[in-house]
A and B are shown apart, each in its own frame.
Chain A
Amino acid sequence: ETGVTQSPTHLIKTRGQQVTLRCSSQSGHNTVSWYQQALGQGPQFIFQYYREEENGRGNFPPRFSGLQFPNYSSELNVNALELDDSALYLCASSLSYSSYGYTFGSGTRLTVV
Chain B
Amino acid sequence: GENVEQHPSTLSVQEGDSAVIKCTYSDSASNYFPWYKQELGKRPQLIIDIRSNVGEKKDQRIAVTLNKTAKHFSLHITETQPEDSAVYFCASPNQAGTALIFGKGTTLSVSS
Contact = CB atoms under 8 A, between A and B. Distances in A.
A29 B32 CA distance: 19
Given A41-B104, A42-B102, A42-B103, A102 B32 contact: no
B43 A105 contact: yes
Contacts of A99: 32, 93-94, 97-100
A24 B13 CA distance: 38
How many chain B residues sit at the interface, stated as a range, is 20 to 34
A40 to B, nearest CB: 8
B interface SS class: strand
Nearest to B51: A100
B44 A104 contact: yes
Contacts of A104: 36, 43-45
Interface string A85-105: 000001000000111111111
A7 interface: no
B46 interface: yes
Interface of A: 33, 40-45, 48, 50, 55-56, 58, 90, 97-107
Interface of B: 6, 32, 34, 36, 42-46, 49, 89, 91, 93-94, 96-105
